[in-house]
Every structure is written in C-alpha cells, then in structure tokens.
Amino acid sequence: MKILKYLLLLLLVIVGGFLIFTTLQPNKFDFERSRVINAPADYVYKHISDYKKCEAWGPWQEQDTTMTFTYNEQTSGVGANYSWNGAMGPGSMKTLEAIENESLKQELKFGEFAPSEVNWKLEETPEGTRVTWGMKGEADFMLKAIMVPYGGMEKGNEPSFLRGLEKLDSIVVDDYTKNPPIAKASFSLGSTLSLKQNAQQFIGYKQVTKIDHEAMTKLYMEFMPKAGMHAAAQELADTDYIPAAVFTKWDEEKGEAEFYIGLVVKKEVALAEGMEKVTLPAGQNVMITKYGPYGTGDQEAHMAIDKYLKDNALKQNGAIWELYVNDPETVNPEDIETEIHYPVK
C-alpha cells in the first residue's frame, strides 16, 4: 500500500509539475524560418500563392498520409482558400493579403484552436530569392499542453518548416531549370498627341473577366479571329476595318474588367451572333502609339497618357480603346503597332 501511495503521490507531482510548466509557457508565439532558393521570386511566388501547388511541397502530407484536400474555385490571390482533413484533424487556410512576388499573409485554422497568422516574404539576393516563412498567434492551454513534449510551438514546428522549405527549393529550382524565363521583347512609345476625333463605329464581342494577362490573352485568341472571319464573310476590304478593343471597365481594386474585342468599321456592317455595336463618340482625344509585342509596354503607355492628362489638366471622359494597326505576322515584333486612345474633357 505504501508503494501505491508513493506512486500516486509521484503521479500527482508529475501531473502538477506538467500543469504548472504548461501554464508558464508563453501564450503568444511568433517564429520564422528562411532559405535562399536559386531562382527568381516569381518562380517561388507561384508555388506558394496557389494552394493547389502547395500540396506538392507541404511537409504535413509526409506526416499524415490520410490527408485529403478540398479546393474552392479560387485557389490563388486575396480571398483564395482551401481545407483539409486527416488523422491529424481538420484545418483550413485563407489568403488575406498578397503582393505579387513579394509577400503573402494567410489565416490558418486548425481544429478548434484559435486562428494563426502565416506570413511569407520574398527578397531578391545575389544568390537567389530569400524565402522567409513565419507563423504567429496565441496558444490556449490545450495547444500549449500538446506542444510541450515537442519543446513548444517554435521547436515543435521547426522540422516541418525546414522540410517544407527544402521541398519547395527542389520543386522551384526544377521548374526554373525546365522553364527558364523568356526574354521580354523591346518596345518603344511615340509622342503623346491631342487630337479631334470623329465618331466611329465599333462592333465586337463583350468580355467580362478578371484582370489576368493569361486569361485575357486567351479571350483575344478566341474572339479576334472570330471578328476577322466575320469581316471576311461580310466581304470587307482591308481598308474597311481595323482590329480593336474597347475597354468599358477596368477596376484594379476588385481585379475586374469589361471590354469588347472586335473591329472599328468604316461602313455599316451586319452583326454576327453575340456581337454588339458601340459608338465611339466624336470629341477631344489623347492618343499614344506603342511599338512592340502585344502585352509589352502597355503599362508604360498608359502611364505616359496619365502624365499627359495631369500635366494638361485633362480628365478621361468615356471608354478607352485600342487599335491594332498592322498585322503582327507581317512585321518584326518591335514594329507591331498599337494605338491607345483616351477620350478627354
């Protein structure tokens, strides 16, 4: 009996000591780990910002092979989220802030515990991209008790963070090696001009989409040939039309765009199915010509017009449009000509 009493007493001492030790552990945690990856920041960013790509380098799947993932329609960018379940319990992740190729802020929820904040920071260095992965939040008594045998939140999570960065390094370098960046073609800008614009007729297909270069390029590749085929069906001469686009909405904050892909026509033309007619009104117009491949130098062209408007106390007054003046297949890439027009007042 004395031995049993001593054992119970020892057990009480151990439990009491454990409870006291757990209670004295910090309520807040904030830690990070870094690794330099020999690849540009944009290669790293695409693998950490898209939750479907995270499954390939995430370290926890090695610890829990029963994990299953559920993805929503949006898997990257602000608002993207996904969830998982497995032997280690359910969890979810949501992107709160995102600066492309620079940083991410995410909310991690695991089981019934309070949410934690996960942060990523990318910094260019001579050796590559320094990738810093961190997590911070508050731990209740239960979470502290779970992590005490592992040395606390930081030491307990360190092996997973280091393993994740190791796997990420391997995947990113492999991607960079197999898909090296394509050198951007050069572009140039003509002078910004102010001119009187006659009314013009435009016919085209309306598009509503996210502001995404790849998605918008696909729309151009689908609908510009359709517009050209309609011009041929209407027996229009090359001098009767100009390929064009009219932008009626461009919301950077919401990442949304509405625009038309089609033709400025110089005579009345019947509309194809799905086409709409838009009148480009007469009035004062500011225009710049960009020479170079589509998608290259566009931002610089719009910035040049914006500066001209500010310098001359002018304001945009209506939809912006672009004229694709020459055939890109018949000229050198640096000679592809795009006119960008802003109606002003």
CATH at residue 303: 3.20.80.10
Same domain, 306 and 231: yes
For helices 153-178 and 41-49, angle between their N-to-C axes, nearest 10 degrees: 120
Average pLDDT, the chain: 88
For residue 45, give both structure tokens: 């960013």
Same domain, 293 and 170: no
What would the pLDDT profile of 190-232 be if each residue is shown by its tens digit?
A: 999 999 989 999 999 999 999 888 889 999 999 999 999 999 9
pTM of the predicted model over 0.85: no
Would you say residue 306 has pLDDT above 60? yes
What average pLDDT does the segment 52-56 reach? 93
Most confident range (mean pLDDT) of 16-20, 114-118, 240-244 is 240-244
Give the pLDDT band of residue 14 (cuts 50, 70, 90).
Answer: very low
Same domain, 222 and 265: yes
Question: Are the beta carbons of 279 and 197 closer than 8 angstroms?
Answer: no
Question: For the chain, how many structural domains are there in total?
Answer: 2
What average pLDDT does the segment 83-92 reach? 89
Domain stops at, among 141, 159, 178: 178
Q: What is the pLDDT of residue 253?
A: 85
Residue 1 resides in a domain: no
Beta strands in 115-240 (DSSP E): 116-125, 128-138, 188-189, 193-197, 200-210
Same domain, 339 and 193: yes
Q: What is the pLDDT of residue 151?
A: 52
CA distance 332 to 327: 10
What would the pLDDT profile of 237-270 be if each residue is shown by its tens digit?
A: 999 999 999 999 999 888 899 999 999 999 999 9
Q: Can you tell me whether residue 325 is helix, strand or coil?
A: coil
Give the pLDDT band of residue 3 (cuts 50, 70, 90).
Answer: low
Residue 10 resides in a domain: no
